[in-house]
Amino acid sequence: MKDFNYFMPTKIYFGRDCVIKNADVFKQLGKKAVIITGRTSAKNNGSQADVVRALESAQINYFVFDQIEENPSVNTIEKAAAKAVEEKADFVIGIGGGSPMDSAKAVAFLACNPDKPVEFLFEKGQSPHLPVVEIPTTAGTGSEVTQYAILTVPEKKTKMGIAKRTFADAAFLDVKYFESLPVGVTRNTAVDALTHLIEAYLCSENGFLSDVIAERGMEIFKDCKYPLLKGEFDTETREKLLLASTLGGMAIAQSQTSLPHAMGYYLTFFKELPHGAANAQFTKAYMDFVPEQDRVEKILSILGFESTADLDGFLEKLTKRVHFTENEINYYTDEIMKIKGKLATVTKEITRQDMYNMFKDSNK
Ligand code: NAP
Ligand code: FE
């Protein structure tokens, strides 16, 4: 068997009202919290109110930064971190989808290193950071259990993972926050979770434990296929989507995401395609390309698809596809060929022509 390491130190609390029931968790992290969230959803789905109630019961002061946009930019992170420094926050609570959860991690680093510019997030090497708590309200990114944070870097015309890595100290998973999730966001984020499970399983950095986690996540995802197509979600399905998402995060925490994620960032940046949809557009081409076709077969069998075309047809029913021009394909190809770390997630050499073909074959 291949050597592997596995590390995922986040304490997970799963269940109805888990934030309120475990208010003591916040007490161990400091006396003042900054809540990082998006503009509206956390106020509407009850998550922010639960956190405020838990903080008040634990006599912890807090303030709210609720200006996180989708695919957050480094400029927003700078503003949030400046506020956290001004308010002398001891720890950071991210509430929302991947955008606020990733932002919370980035703010935790910047607020602890106030003399550093935002570019420092992209410099290799570890550094001190504030503790982080994550509360997901979308079931997709798994950011509550990953060490990654993805930010939009306008100067580079794409999204990039920050080099600084941290896991949340605690993650609270309460399905009641998902009841308000619109069908479109539910589908896009579920597809993101599925792509984490698939990419973790096919990634060159996989290992026994990430495989076990990914296989179980795909089994759970299979039960959600029909509700996703129908656009109707009962509580049990919502719970399954949440678990599939968290398992997807745990799987990529050992391995990492692969080509569909890296390719998809261009579609999100240039064509504003939601993150999950952007990954979905490239999933078939990627699965057809990797040498581990036995593992591709296993994925299809667990998920109940006959072929990668069958899987692609399912994804196309759930998420939007976009068209890109020849010039765009060439630009994306040249850019991605520079990201050696991502190319290394596939176990064979990828030529420029291979990459070009994968973009070309995924064009709609
Ligand atoms: P998101 O950008 O966080 O949120 C999408 C939309 O959903 C927002 O409009 C948000 O509204 C809304 N929303 C969130 N929860 C809701 C709820 N319960 N009810 C109704 N609306 C709700 O979407 P996401 O797909 O979860 O996150 C995408 C980001 O995560 C991307 O930047 C992606 O690159 C990153 N990502 C990170 C990892 C990782 O490992 N760290 C992995 C994959 C993806 P508000 O703005 O009002 O909150
Ligand atoms: Fe993702």
Task: Please indicate, yes or no, whether residues 199 and 332 belong to a single structural domain of this protein.
Answer: yes
Task: Please indicate, yes or no, whether residues 166 and 222 belong to a single structural domain of this protein.
Answer: no
Residue 205 lies in a domain: yes
From the list 250, 240, 239, 310, the residue with the least C-alpha distance to 15 is 239
Rounded to an integer, the average pLDDT of 256-284 is 97
Residue 127 lies in a domain: yes
**Environment class of residue 13 by beta-carbon count within 10 Å: exposed (0-12), middle (13-18) or buried (19+)?**
middle
Tell which one of 8, 47, 76, 102 to mutate to probe ligand 1, the residue whose CB is within 8 A of the most ligand atoms.
102
Task: Please indicate, yes or no, whether residues 170 and 230 belong to a single structural domain of this protein.
Answer: no
| pLDDT of 110 | 97
Q: Which atom of ligand 1 is nearest to the CA of 100?
A: 3
> Is there an atom of ligand 1 within 6 Å of 278 CB?
no
| Distance between CA atoms of residues 16 and 4, nearest Å | 34
> Is there an atom of ligand 1 within 6 Å of 260 CB?
no
* Neighbouring C-beta atoms of residue 360, cutoff 10 Å: 14
Task: Please indicate, yes or no, whether residues 128 and 19 belong to a single structural domain of this protein.
Answer: yes
Q: Which of 124, 151, 177 is a domain's end point?
A: 177
Q: Residue 275 C-alpha to ligand 2 middle, in angstroms? A: 7
| Distance between CA atoms of residues 138 and 309, nearest Å | 27
What are 287-290's contacts with CB under 8 Å, separation 24+?
287/198, 287/202, 287/311, 288/361, 289/259, 289/346, 289/354, 289/358, 290/202, 290/346, 290/347, 290/348
Task: Please indicate, yes or no, whether residues 252 and 355 belong to a single structural domain of this protein.
Answer: yes
| pLDDT of 335 | 96
The CATH number of residue 160's host domain is: 3.40.50.1970
Instruction: Take residue 78 and report the two structure tokens written for it.
Output: 């700078």
Give the model confidence (pLDDT) of 291-313 as tens digits.
999 999 999 999 999 999 999 99
Residue 3 lies in a domain: no
Task: Please indicate, yes or no, whether residues 83 and 106 belong to a single structural domain of this protein.
Answer: yes
> Is there an atom of ligand 1 within 6 Å of 248 CB?
no
Backbone angles phi, psi at 12, to 5 degrees: -105, 130
Task: Please indicate, yes or no, whether residues 138 and 57 belong to a single structural domain of this protein.
Answer: yes
* Domain enclosing residue 310, as ranges: 182-361
| Distance between CA atoms of residues 174 and 355, nearest Å | 40
| Distance between CA atoms of residues 103 and 92, nearest Å | 10
| Distance between CA atoms of residues 316 and 228, nearest Å | 12
% of the chain surpassing 70 pLDDT: 100
Residue 48 lies in a domain: yes
| pLDDT of 29 | 98
Q: Looking at the predicted structure, is the pLDDT value of residue 25 above 90?
A: yes
Nearest CA to ligand 1 atom 35: 98
Residue 32 lies in a domain: yes
The CATH number of residue 311's host domain is: 1.20.1090.10
Q: Looking at the predicted structure, is the pLDDT value of residue 111 above 90?
A: yes
| Distance between CA atoms of residues 19 and 15, nearest Å | 9
Q: Residue 36 C-alpha to ligand 2 middle, in angstroms? A: 20
In this prediction, residue 364 has a pLDDT band, given cuts at 50, 70 and 90, of confident
Judge whether 192 and 275 are in contact, CB under 8 Å: yes
| pLDDT of 157 | 87
Residue 1 lies in a domain: no
Number of domains observed in the structure of the chain: 2
Q: Residue 98 C-alpha to ligand 1 middle, in angstroms? A: 4
Q: Which of 158, 177, 196 is a domain's end point?
A: 177
Task: Please indicate, yes or no, whether residues 103 and 190 belong to a single structural domain of this protein.
Answer: no
Nearest CA to ligand 1 atom 9: 70
In this prediction, residue 102 has a pLDDT band, given cuts at 50, 70 and 90, of very high
Residue 23 lies in a domain: yes
Question: Which ligand does the CA of 37 lie closest to?
Answer: 1
Give the model confidence (pLDDT) of 161-217 as tens digits.
999 999 999 999 999 999 989 999 999 999 999 999 999 999 999 999 999 999 999
From the list 281, 263, 275, the residue with the least C-alpha distance to 70 is 275
> Is there an atom of ligand 1 within 6 Å of 272 CB?
no
| pLDDT of 84 | 98
Tell which one of 36, 37, 40, 41 to mutate to probe ligand 1, the residue whose CB is within 8 A of the most ligand atoms.
41
> Is there an atom of ligand 1 within 6 Å of 245 CB?
no
Residue 283 lies in a domain: yes
> Is there an atom of ligand 1 within 6 Å of 96 CB?
yes
| pLDDT of 43 | 98
> Is there an atom of ligand 1 within 6 Å of 180 CB?
yes
> Is there an atom of ligand 1 within 6 Å of 105 CB?
no
In this prediction, residue 94 has a pLDDT band, given cuts at 50, 70 and 90, of very high
| pLDDT of 180 | 86
Give the model confidence (pLDDT) of 33-92 as tens digits.
999 999 999 999 999 999 999 999 999 999 999 999 999 999 999 999 999 999 999 999
Task: Please indicate, yes or no, whether residues 141 and 237 belong to a single structural domain of this protein.
Answer: no
Q: Which of 115, 142, 177 is a domain's end point?
A: 177
What are the angstrom distances between the C-alpha of 342 and each of 120, 200, 220, 315, 349?
A: 21, 13, 27, 23, 11
Task: Please indicate, yes or no, whether residues 290 and 351 belong to a single structural domain of this protein.
Answer: yes
| Distance between CA atoms of residues 67 and 290, nearest Å | 40
Pairing of β 170-173 and β 158-161: unpaired
Task: Please indicate, yes or no, whether residues 163 and 208 belong to a single structural domain of this protein.
Answer: no
Task: Please indicate, yes or no, whether residues 113 and 255 belong to a single structural domain of this protein.
Answer: no
